[in-house]
Chains A and B, each alone.
Chain A
Amino acid sequence: RKEVEQDPGPFNVPEGATVAFNCTYSNSASQSFFWYRQDCRKEPKLLMSVYSSGNEDGRFTAQLNRASQYISLLIRDSKLSDSATYLCVVNGRGSSNTGKLIFGQGTTLQVKP
């Protein structure tokens, strides 16, 4: 089983749509969870951390289900500028002190006018 698994997409949606991405992780000991955004041939950039209680940042909502080892990201009112690859990221096995991050393959979002 992959350490972090995502549906690669692509997701093609019209402007204004709501889109949801899902992710599963294999290491039940993981403690830190993130969504990163990566534009083509650029570095990953932190979109938001994911907390057990769920958290929201503007149009973005992240949820974590530790029992199911499942993370989600919801984007409301999609903008053209949201087009990117969204990376599900968790801290590495037994490495909360070293800061190692494990990345999923990424889910590609294309927002159309």
Chain B
Amino acid sequence: EPEVTQTPSHQVTQMGQEVILRCVPISNHLYFYWYRQILGQKVEFLVSFYNNEISEKSEIFDDQFSVERPDGSNFTLKIRSTKLEDSAMYFCASSDQGTAGYTFGSGTRLTVV
């Protein structure tokens, strides 16, 4: 069964540092997403990406966040200057039909110290 692959599984970084979270979506999918889940809280939408541009972003997705699909296979989330409150599980997802056919990756646990 096709998978969405995320690396690393766990990242520890110092406050103020930049981090890049990486994702390889399913190859024939057209829609790509990032979500985050702070420990004990709900899964929250960050951004959707379609046709090589952001199609929607949440209030959480401020200027310190950016996404990129640099080479047609990887989909990355960059956090420019991490804060303690960025500590969370970050899930990448892809789909071939918008809300249908969604597949989530296993997540990257980001810990900011």
A residues bordering B, Cβ < 8 Å? 32, 34, 38, 41-46, 49, 87, 91-92, 95-106
Q: How far is the CA of A91 from the CA of B56 in the complex (A)?
A: 13
User: How many contacting A-B pairs (Cβ < 8 A)?
Assistant: 64
A103 vs B98: C-alpha distance when bound (angstroms)? 16
**B107→A43 contact, CB < 8 A:** yes
Interface size class of B (residues with CB under 8 A): 20 to 34
Per-residue interface assignment for chain B, residues 60 to 88, with 1 indicating a CB less than 8 Å from any chain A CB and 0 otherwise: 00000000000000000000000000000
Can you give 19 A-B contacts (C-beta < 8 A)? A34-B99, A43-B105, A43-B106, A44-B91, A44-B104, A45-B104, A87-B43, A92-B45, A97-B55, A98-B56, A99-B98, A99-B102, A100-B48, A100-B56, A101-B33, A101-B35, A102-B45, A103-B43, A105-B42
What distance in Å separates the Cβ of B40 from its nearest Cβ neighbour in chain A?
Answer: 10
Q: Do A101 and B45 touch across chains, with their CB atoms under 8 A apart?
A: yes
Q: Is B42 a contact of A46 with CB atoms below 8 Å?
A: no
A residues less than 8 Å from B104 (CB atoms): 43-45
Measured in the bound complex, the distance between the Cα atoms of B31 and A96 in whole Å is 12
Q: Does B95 reach chain A (CB closer than 8 Å)?
A: yes
With beta carbons under 8 angstroms apart, the residue of B55, B99, B106 that contacts A91 is B99
Minimum CB–CB distance for B112 against chain A, Å:
18
Q: Pick the contact of B98 from A43, A98, A104 — CB < 8 Å?
A: A98
